Structure 1
Amino acid sequence: MVSLPQRLGTWQRRICSLGWGAFLVGLLLSIACSTYAQLLSFETAPVVIDGRPLFEIAQTNQINAEERAEAISQELGERVASDTEIFVTSEIRNKAPVILVNGRYLMTVTQNDATAGGAVTARAQASAWAKLLNRELEIAQQERSKEVLRPRIAIATVALLIAAIVHRLIGYIRRLLRLLLERLTAPQEGQPPAGLNLLLALLLSLLRLGLWFGVITYITNLFPFTRRWSYFLRRQVLVGFLEPNLRLGQNEFSILSLVVLMGMLLGVVVLSGVFTNFLRSRVLRLAGINRGSGEAISILAKYSLIFIGVVVLLQIWGLDLSSLALIASALGVGIGLGLQNIAKDFGSGLILVFERPIQVGDFVEFGQFQGVVERIGGRSTEIKTLDQISIIVPNSRFLEHEVINWSHRNPVSRIRLPVGVAYSSDPKIVQEVLLETGYQHPQVLSTPAPRVFFTGFGDSALEFELLVWIANPPKQLIIKSDLYFAIEATLRDRNIEVPFPQRDLHVRSGQLPIEVSTEVLKHIKQLQDGSDHLSSKN
């Protein structure tokens, strides 16, 4: 009977043997993989007939793969252009398999060619390529016949007509999507978000561009003469856009990947705007939050979503934010030199959002303009005047200049209406008329009550001033006009005259004709004699 220590020793030896075996197998696999990778580390290039890649060939000791493939492709193109029948064969010459076209040497197949083509030996690869060339060269000659070209011209015409129809349909789809998103977001005054319009326009352009690119590529592939140029252009575009040739930090990116990243960043901005409009029009409005507070919450939500979305996208894309320090430094220099006003406007916009000296919906007086604040953006604020004219004001000007905010904290405000009456009027009756007119207007508040002040004695009238309180500052001009109409009608009914400036002209009495003194007559006589003397000399 085997004891327990012996069993443990046996299992220990087996485990050690398995460990050493696994180590040796892993070592052999790594050596094999590295060897296979070295075998596949040679350069390859495609052999092309009329823009159709046939197979990949490898480089040799004398020539690189690109030049070798170009020479073979040119030789095959010349053969196809001739009207003679083509036979492709393979044989062994100098212990190496070669491919012949009508008995003329075309190429030697190497072991690297067989590795690139997936064959075991070079001879087997030469035989497979000879059969492939026979078939493809026959197809290439058939494509040049009139029997093949005529139906393909008809197919190309139909493809162009279908592309034109789809081009129009994409425009209709854009309009439908725009209407759907407008109803979903319900922006103010029925205006669609600018970012959403931009995104839809870009998508429309990309879809139409992709449509025509695909149609043109399809049509050029129908004909052997145009297929060559199509293949060349596609290859150059793919190499230029898909090759990672831009380095940012430790990673390399292609132009296409950066374009996609820019599109996704634009999508983040637009989707943030759509979400903000939905939050403003649906959630905050139903919650009963006033327009100014809702606008501040929406702006903060929008820029927070943009910041988070940009950071997440850059991290997913593999961009290390620390690698952007150089760009940030250059941007800081640019801001310090040429963009300081824009940076100041953005900073002022943040102050306006947090301190809220003005809010969306406030009636403000700025310089010579009066209007309602419609939008507070990152860089500028939109004010719509009483004439329905939009004025775009940089945010920094609201902090650098005085702004009269009629709606700040409490929209109740007082307006003044100066009135002048003739000196023959009774001031008590005038006061009664003005107070009565103020109380009768529906938009004048009864509390605080209207008041009338006797402000002084003017040149032509007794001067009064009617002070009334209103709760809707944007309509103060309309209220003033209504009150003046009512005051004029009431004064006319009470036979109270509204005077106009008068001037009295007093003319002092005298004698006509005017008497002239003897000294003046003597002086006039001297001047006349002097002028006669000068004329006689001449």
Structure 2
Amino acid sequence: MAPHRLLSVISQILQTIGIALILTLILLIAPAIAQKEIPASVVLDGREIFQISPSGEYTATERAELVNSLLQEAVQEDQPVQIEIEQRNGLPTIRLNDRHLMTVTDRDAPLGRTPEEQARELTRRLRDAVQQAQQQRTAEFLRWAGTIAVGVVAIATLLHWGLGEFWQRSLRPSLAAILPQPNADEDETIEHPQALNLLVNLLLAIARTGVWLGATLYITNLFPLTRQWGYRIFNSLIASFTSPIITLGQSSYSVTDLLVLAFMLLGLIVFTKMATDLLKSRILQMTGVNRGAQEAVAVIIRYAMLFIGSLVVLQIWGLDISSLAILVSALGVGIGFGLQDIAKNFGSGLVLVFERPIQVGDFIEVGEFQGNVERIGARSTLIRTLDQISIIVPNSRFLEQEVINWSHDNPVSRIHLPVGVAYGSDIEAVRSALLESARNHPKILSTPQPQVFFKEFGDSSLNFELLVWTAEPSKQVVIKSDLYFRMEALLRQNQVDIPFPQRDLHLQVDHLPLKLSPKMEQMVQQWLERSQL
């Protein structure tokens, strides 16, 4: 095996193993993440201070909302804020202006830290956050932030203008030098300037949008009120992706869960495709079976892997398969009304794979199309015509209409080549010439032998037919062309004419509606006689 081919095989194997490991890792980690209790954030003026966990009958969200509301009330007041720690029921309790703020439990403390140590750390963070929030509400800070905001807008405006100048003076000439130039000798018109303008304008729009987006985010983060609204909008977007939107059985699933599940199923599809491609190209080829059998085995294995893998993914992710009964029922109704064609083509694809009336590599004729079967998919079959054009044919068409399979079971087939010769020709010479044209042709089989049949006495010719056998029916167009070239040369050597249709025209001048003079009638009669010679 060549070194580059060996490297290709090793690369395919490593890619397949890598995807399998990633899928396994996701399947092992995802349930643990889904079952883990998610803490809630304590936020002041749109800035996260710390996170707390559930405690007793209170959820993390309920505890965080209570702390957030008390902190917001405290910073709105002009009086100083007092934050202290006291012990209650053996646990440290943080008090805000002599009001209970929160009790620090073992679940709030990270690994290796006691609740008392965690309470002191949280108290320090709360004091710093409250002091900063009160300071940012002063008139002096608001004037400073306003000045900074004006400066940021000015800088963004300058960058907006500068990017346009840079794009026009530096980037456009650089791209024009990199892109291929149109050939002046070619007749086709290449719209090079339009494509370059579109590319430059698109890149410029993306850069300017990034500048203004960054400026907006920076200005929003300067003021407490705008920072709060930005944090709320961001949380609303996150909640829209994490809130349950569908319930199956006892479990609820959000958009994020569905996206992760879709990603896992997509990874399963990619993995099965790579595995079956590796099976076809590296294992089944060594067995010596034909291409159609290899494709059938690969398709069956891929469908089996997809079905079993989908069940495993859904079960490990926590989805009860029995809860899909309603979904399957709705899918059945959908198939009955709108997806029946897809279901019919999918079922036809399974019939084609198992019954194998056509196989990959067969030369077939369906309707007006002739070509080799390149792929039999779940819904359609790909046919590559002799002109190297890909035709996508629905699978159901192969079961509902007549299909000519030149390669089915035995690829040996007979080709008919009709030919007509002029009346009066030596028919034995015609027979010898036709048989001689088929002799020693590399695509024509010597057994069965070529035959010549005298078909009929035609209107203008004696009609014969040469019948030859070939094991390569996909080459019949080339074979017919070669044989007709040979026929014409041999028939010309034997002085045998190939006629064209002839028609005699007889005019009765006595029945013309106009009365001609005797001299005119004589001229017409002479012209007709000369035209018949």
Q: In which range does the TM-score fall when normalised by the shorter chain?
A: 0.5 to 0.7
Please tell me the residue identity of whatever aligns with 2:72: S
Letter of the 1:479 partner, please give it. Answer: I
Matches within 5 A, 1:282-431: 282-431=282-431
Distance 1:420 1:289 in 2: 45
Q: 2:83, 2:337 → 1: CA distance?
A: 72
Q: Deviations over 1:285-321 (max 9, x none)?
A: 2332221111111111111110111011011011111
1:28-67 to 2 correspondence within 5 Å? 46-53=42-49, 66=65
Q: How far off its partner does 1:356 sit?
A: 0.5
Are 2:412 and 2:472, in contact at CA under 8 Å, matched by a contact in 1?
Answer: yes
Partner of 2:72: 73
* Pair 1:503–1:513, CA change in 2 (3 A): closer
Q: 1: CA distance between counterparts of 2:377 and 2:390?
A: 14
Report deviation, 1:327: 1.1
Higher relative contact order (CA 8 A, sep 6+): 2
**Shift of residue 113, structure 1, vs aligned partner:** 4.9
Q: Aligned residue for 2:17?
A: none
Larger mean CA deviation between 380-389 and 495-504 belongs to 380-389
Helix, strand or coil for the counterpart of 1:502?
Answer: coil
- For 2:221, the equivalent position in structure 1 comes to 223
Query: Percent identity among equivalent residues?
Result: 47
| Cα distance in 2 between the residues matched to 1:320 and 1:513 | 95
Q: Would the alpha carbon gap of residues 219 and 275 (structure 1) be closer, same or farther in structure 2, given more than 3 Å must change?
A: farther
Q: CA, structure 1 residues 295+504, in 2 after alignment: closer, same or farther (shift >3 Å)?
A: same
Q: Distance in 1 between matches of 2:370 and 2:94?
A: 91
1:98, 1:126 within 8 Å by CA — same for their partners in 2? Answer: no
The offset of 1:89, in angstroms, is 3.6
> 1:335 and 1:511 mapped to 2: Cα distance?
73
Map 1:507-522 onto structure 2 (within 5 A): 507=507
Residue 295 of structure 2: SS of its match in structure 1?
A: helix
Q: Aligned AA for 1:262? A: A
CA gap of 1:216–1:348, structure 2 versus 1, over 3 A, is farther
TM-aligned CA deviation for residue 389 of structure 1: 2.4
| Kept in 2: contact 1:50–1:224 (CA 8 A) | no
Matched AA of 1:398? F
In the TM superposition, residue 413 of structure 1 has moved relative to its aligned partner by 0.7
SS in 1 for 2:459: coil
Report Cα offsets for 1:107-145 as digits up to 9, x if no partner: 542175566987779x98997577444654488589975
1:414-453 to 2 correspondences below 5 Å: 414-453=414-453
Question: Relative to structure 1, is the Cα distance of residues 513 and 293 closer, same or farther in structure 2, using a 3 angstrom cutoff?
Answer: closer
Instruction: Give the distance between the partners of 1:139 and 1:362, measured in 2 at CA.
Output: 81
For structure 2, the residue ranges without an aligned partner over 5 or more in a row are: 1-38, 86-92, 110-114, 160-209, 517-533
Distance across 2 between alignment mates of 1:434 and 1:322:
72
Q: Residues of 1 paired with 2:77 and 2:336: CA distance?
A: 64
Closer, same or farther in 2 for the Cα pair 1:432/1:139, shift >3 Å? farther
Residues in 1 aligned to 2:350 and 2:513: alpha-carbon distance in whole angstroms? 82
- Normalising to structure 2: TM-score of the pair? 0.64
The answer to whether the Cα contact below 8 Å between 1:49 and 1:76 also exists between their aligned partners in 2 is no
1:503 is paired with a residue whose SS is coil
- CA–CA distance in structure 1, aligned partners of residues 125 and 145 of structure 2: 28
What letter corresponds to residue 471 of structure 2 in structure 1?
A: A
CA distance in 2, matches of 1:266, 1:441: 52
Q: CA deviation at 1:442?
A: 1.9
* Alignment check: 8 A CA contact 1:364 1:372 kept: yes
Query: What secondary structure does 2:439 align onto?
Result: helix
Using a 3 Å threshold, how does the CA distance of structure 1 residues 129 and 311 change in structure 2: closer, same or farther? closer
Q: Which amino acid aligns with 2:367?
A: G
CA offset digits 1:200-242 (Å, max 9, x no partner): xxxxxxxxxxxx9xx9799659933464344223322333333
**CA offset at residue 412 of structure 1?**
1.0
Over 3 Å counting, the alpha-carbon distance change for 1:363 and 1:114 in structure 2 is: closer
Distance 1:489 1:139 in 2: 105
* Residues in 1 aligned to 2:122 and 2:472: alpha-carbon distance in whole angstroms: 92
How many residues are matched?
399
Are the structure 2 counterparts of residues 113 and 503 from structure 1 closer, same or farther at C-alpha, using a change threshold of 3 Å?
A: same
Flag the 1:390–1:129 CA change in 2: closer, same or farther, 3 A. closer
Please say if residues 41 and 48 of structure 2, whose CA atoms lie closer than 8 Å, have aligned partners that are also in contact: no
Go from structure 1 to structure 2 and tell me whether the alpha carbon gap of 1:410 and 1:76 turns closer, same or farther (over 3 Å shift).
same
- SS for the counterpart of 2:452 is strand
Question: CA, structure 1 residues 53+415, in 2 after alignment: closer, same or farther (shift >3 Å)?
Answer: same
2:42 corresponds to which letter in structure 1? P
Question: 1:480 and 1:72, CA in 2 relative to 1: closer, same or farther beyond 3 A?
Answer: same
Aligned AA for 2:358?
I
1:224 aligns to what SS in structure 2?
A: coil
CA RMSD in angstroms comes to 4.4
**What whole-Å deviation, never above 9, does each CA across 1:229-269 have from its counterpart, x for those lacking one?**
44223322333333456421122333312210111011111
Which residue of 2 is the match for residue 110 of structure 1? 100
Measured in 1, the distance between the counterparts of 2:94 and 2:328 equals: 61
Distance change in 2, residues 1:383/1:515 (3 Å): closer
SS of the counterpart of 2:383? strand
Structure 2 CA distance for aligned equivalents of residues 239 and 501 of structure 1? 83
Q: Distance in 2 between matches of 1:386 and 1:270?
A: 31
CA contact (8 A) 2:268 2:309 kept: yes
Note the alpha carbon deviations across 1:23-78, whole angstroms, 9 max, x for none.
xxxxxxxxxxxxxxxxxxxx98734134333677999xxx9974773464266368
Q: Which amino acid aligns with 1:110?
A: H
Letter in 2 for 1:76: V
SS for the counterpart of 1:498 is coil
Name which of structure 1's ranges 503-512 and 487-496 shifts more when overlaid on structure 2.
503-512
Q: Which residues of structure 1 form unaligned runs of 5+? A: 1-42, 80-85, 100-106, 161-211, 517-538
Q: Secondary structure at the match of 1:440?
A: coil
The answer to which of 343-352 and 66-75 deviates more is: 66-75
The superposition leaves residues 463-495 of structure 1 with CA deviations (integer Å, 9 ceiling, x where unpaired) of 110001111111111211111111112211221
Alpha-carbon distance in structure 2 between the residues aligned to 1:111 and 1:219? 32
Q: Are the aligned partners of 1:149 and 1:223 in contact in 2 as well (CA < 8 Å)?
A: no
Cα distance, 1:143–1:378 mapped onto 2, change above 3 Å: farther
- Using structure 1 for the length normalisation, give the TM-score: 0.63
Give the distance between the partners of 1:69 and 1:422, measured in 2 at CA. Answer: 106
8 Å Cα contact 2:420-2:499 kept in structure 1: yes
